[in-house]
Structure 1
Amino acid sequence: MTLNRRAFIGTGVAAAAALRAPMVWSQGRPRVVVVGGGAGGATVARYLAKDSQGQIDVTLVEPTRHYYTCFFSNLYIGGFRDIASIGHSYGKLAAEYGINVVHDWAVGVDRDAKTVTLAGGAVLPYDRLVLSPGIDFVDGSVPGWDVTVQNKMPHAYKAGSQSELLKAQIEAMPQGGRFAMVAPPNPYRCPPGPYERISMVAHLLTQVNPTAKILLVDPKDKYSKQALFEEGWAKHYPGMVERIGPDFGGDKVEVRADAMEVVIDGTVEKVDVCNVIPGQKAGRICEMAGITDGNWAPVTGYTMQSRIDGTIYVLGDATAQGDMPKSGYSANSQAKVAAMAIRGELLGSSVFPAKFSNTCWSLIAPEDGVKVGAAYEPTDEKIASVSSFVSQTGEDAALRKQTYEESLGWYAGITSDMFG
């Protein structure tokens, strides 16, 4: 089935919840503060404002005025999109839905007082808090790398200027040069993402530097869509990509940014560009709020409420929730469940059983798209997969083209669902 904008927006929403008599709040409308304006945060803010018909006071806290999606940022690197096409503003959320959009950093949560403190000094009271901050990086996960060297060895796992920097570095490589990626350990944002990026870097190099080589250093034994990517690399980029897994030292890596060196189990490899994707954890505001298990924020899948504080909901990449991958599609799906649950709590509206879905598309080469996905339902222990699908090796070109076109429809749909 080809997924278009209208079809996507309808997914994950069983029915609009009918409002019953609202609860009485001494301060007026109940207040929901949402921290993070990505696929989870923007979606939950929009659905809360839209479906409550103004009965909930929604504030969205997001430091950036222009949001660049991590999903499809690899296609920008590969030359299939321009940077403007993955950038989005928050104007419609404010103008059309009445959301109070605050461009600032959330730097503290007082769970007893139910307040969020912003870097600019403002203190926002809440009745319910939604945290959807995405990821931060685990200090020391790649020896020799931290954010102070990200301009020399970009991560480009938070899209925008880092994506532009990495692409510029690739385009400036000497002819016959060497691109390296240090892939992250599990769990991390977008499981197929690093390997789609390898595909997009390879495609770009075939256009501007066809004798260049790619070194992929990976701490994992296996990865998402592995057979599909390896089939695609052999077909479209023969001899260009070399992967070093943990059997050959891929889990024993350090980098030297000044010398542009990657050290693999003691062996020094000189490279021209190095993309380091470090180990990841929940965005720091979750740690500040005291709702993490160390790296991630545990939630119940029935509502996306924190298992530590039921007045806080957590969405997307920051969560420890079970089987769902950390993806934009997942965050959007979780946001709709959370919005329905919050409206049920605050307004007495109907709440239907939670259901979730996810699909991750990847582009290997022009019109050669593949996908993996699943449907999920909550249990007492976790969000559990109940059915799944994945593209197959050996598919014909027409099907792969259809899969790629489906991803374009999904992108149009999800960004409309997020930003209006």
Structure 2
Amino acid sequence: MTLNRRAFIGSGAAAAAMLSAPMLRAQGKPRVVVVGGGAGGATAARYLAKDSDGAIDVTLVEPTRAYYTCFFSNLYIGGFRELSSIGHSYGTLASEYGINVVHDWAVGIDRDAKTVTLAGGAVLPYDRLILSPGIDFVDDAVPGWSVAAQNKMPHAYKAGSQSELLKAQIEAMPEGGRFAMVAPPNPFRCPPGPYERISMVAHLLKEINPTAKILIADPKEKFSKQALFEEGWQKHYSGMIERIGPDFGGGNVSVDPDAMTLNIDGTVEKVDVCNVIPAQKAGRICDMAGITEGNWAPVVPATMQSRMDENIHVLGDATSQGDMPKSGFSANSQAKVAAMAVRGALTGSKVFPAKFSNTCWSLIDTDDGVKVGASYEATEEKISKVDGFISDTGEDAALRKATYEESIGWYAGITEDMFG
């Protein structure tokens, strides 16, 4: 569903009309509260409502009325998509599936009372709680940078206004200017994401500022699809991109947002735009609920239940679950497993063995798409990879174009699966 102004206003009104309904309609029904309306949360809410045929009262808590997908946001930066094409509203979930959509922040969880407290003061009781809050950033992960500096050095790892800001900064770079990225350490949301972003920035600069340069400070020795990206950078953007890995100081970086500089292992680099993608952790509501170990929330693979509380399920980027990458596809896959487990627990419906899958597509240049993916199964210890695939270097142009077109079809399919 593509967001436009009329749809946004209409869906907002529809969602607002539902706000007084949950407590009235919850009588006699098991109650599920879902926190977070992205690839995990929206999918789980929709499947619970759809497959239970009204037997479960489902409330979705999401602060934003328009949700912008992080997947495909790089294509907006590169000029391949309009921002509106990655924006989605919640009106269909409310009007067609009977989900109580509440636009507010969840600010507290009482696991003993089984309630969620919202910033507006409402308290939502639950029989099962599903948390899909995405990521937050580790404090002081990049010395000199904090969320307070995100307008000067955007992260753009939560899509929407940050994506718009980063693109505007790139477009305003002086001729022959310099773009820098501070890449994150593992694990982080969307392993190929920073490197697809570099590709899309390079594509944009090649068109509007061809003498500009790109610098990557990277703490990792290797990264997802590295051979594919490096082959593509050499082919399409030769001489434009320089990556500094940990052997040369890429893991020892600080920034000065006011001076617009990076200090890479003692060498100060002046840049015109700096995209800082810090180390990441589970969305803070997981910490509030007391269900994290370190930066992430460990889960039981077969059901996505928290290992600290069987009445809470955690999805997507926030989890520590094993072999699956932190991606929109993964969250959507995990949401279906969790929804089936919750529905079985609350209504007695049949629960089938958990199966998971993931594919991550990346665009390197026009019609030059690549992908990596795998299938997974639940073991007692973790979600375990069964088999996988990845694009080959040296593929012909027709195959790369077909891969890109496949990704376009997937985007349409997954967003319909999420939002109806």
Q: Which amino acid aligns with 2:217?
A: V
**1:185 aligns to what?**
185
- The 5-angstrom pairing of residues 52-91 of structure 1 reads 52-91=52-91
Q: Which amino acid aligns with 2:359?
A: T
The separation in 1 between residues aligned to 2:137 and 2:297, in whole angstroms, is 15
3-state SS in 1 of match to 2:395: coil
- The 5-angstrom pairing of residues 222-371 of structure 1 reads 222-371=222-371
**2:118 aligns to what?**
118
The separation in 2 between residues aligned to 1:62 and 1:266, in whole angstroms, is 43
Matched, 1:398 2:398: yes
**1:16 aligns to what?**
none
- Over the aligned positions, Cα root-mean-square deviation in angstroms equals 0.6
Residue-by-residue CA offset, 1:341-386 (whole Å, 9 max, x unaligned): 0010000000000000000000000000000000000111100000
The separation in 2 between residues aligned to 1:300 and 1:104, in whole angstroms, is 28
CA positional deviation for 1:192: 0.1
**1:130 aligns to what?**
130
The separation in 2 between residues aligned to 1:109 and 1:244, in whole angstroms, is 43
**2:11 aligns to what?**
none
The separation in 1 between residues aligned to 2:49 and 2:27, in whole angstroms, is 18
The separation in 2 between residues aligned to 1:381 and 1:333, in whole angstroms, is 18
3-state SS in 2 of match to 1:299: strand
Which aligned runs of 4 or more in structure 1 are off by greater than 3 angstroms?
none
3-state SS in 2 of match to 1:275: strand
CA positional deviation for 1:294: 2.0
The separation in 2 between residues aligned to 1:44 and 1:34, in whole angstroms, is 8
The separation in 2 between residues aligned to 1:43 and 1:64, in whole angstroms, is 16
**2:154 aligns to what?**
154
Matched, 1:139 2:149: no
Residue-by-residue CA offset, 1:169-191 (whole Å, 9 max, x unaligned): 00000000000000000000000
The separation in 2 between residues aligned to 1:152 and 1:284, in whole angstroms, is 24
The separation in 2 between residues aligned to 1:73 and 1:257, in whole angstroms, is 24
The separation in 1 between residues aligned to 2:110 and 2:295, in whole angstroms, is 20
The separation in 2 between residues aligned to 1:27 and 1:407, in whole angstroms, is 43
The separation in 2 between residues aligned to 1:106 and 1:150, in whole angstroms, is 23
Q: Which amino acid aligns with 2:404?
A: Y
CA positional deviation for 1:403: 0.2
**1:219 aligns to what?**
219
3-state SS in 2 of match to 1:412: helix
**1:47 aligns to what?**
47
**2:380 aligns to what?**
380
The separation in 1 between residues aligned to 2:301 and 2:329, in whole angstroms, is 16
Q: Which amino acid aligns with 1:307?
A: R
**1:30 aligns to what?**
30
**1:3 aligns to what?**
none
The separation in 1 between residues aligned to 2:338 and 2:252, in whole angstroms, is 40
The separation in 1 between residues aligned to 2:103 and 2:380, in whole angstroms, is 37
CA positional deviation for 1:323: 0.2
Structure 1 unmatched ranges of 5 or more: 1-25
Matched, 1:165 2:165: yes
3-state SS in 1 of match to 2:363: strand
Higher relative contact order (CA 8 A, sep 6+): 1
Residue-by-residue CA offset, 1:264-312 (whole Å, 9 max, x unaligned): 0010000000000000000000000000002100001100000000000
The separation in 2 between residues aligned to 1:121 and 1:249, in whole angstroms, is 48
Residue-by-residue CA offset, 1:18-64 (whole Å, 9 max, x unaligned): xxxxxxxx951000000000000000000000000000000000000
Q: Percent identity?
A: 83
The separation in 1 between residues aligned to 2:28 and 2:219, in whole angstroms, is 53
The separation in 2 between residues aligned to 1:116 and 1:297, in whole angstroms, is 18
The separation in 2 between residues aligned to 1:210 and 1:372, in whole angstroms, is 30
Residue-by-residue CA offset, 1:117-165 (whole Å, 9 max, x unaligned): 0000000000000000000000010000000000000000000000000
- The 5-angstrom pairing of residues 197-208 of structure 1 reads 197-208=197-208
Q: Which amino acid aligns with 2:204?
A: L
Q: TM-score, normalised by structure 1?
A: 0.94
The separation in 1 between residues aligned to 2:75 and 2:377, in whole angstroms, is 31
**2:17 aligns to what?**
none
Residue-by-residue CA offset, 1:48-101 (whole Å, 9 max, x unaligned): 000000000000000000000000000000000000000000000000000000
Q: Which amino acid aligns with 1:96?
A: E
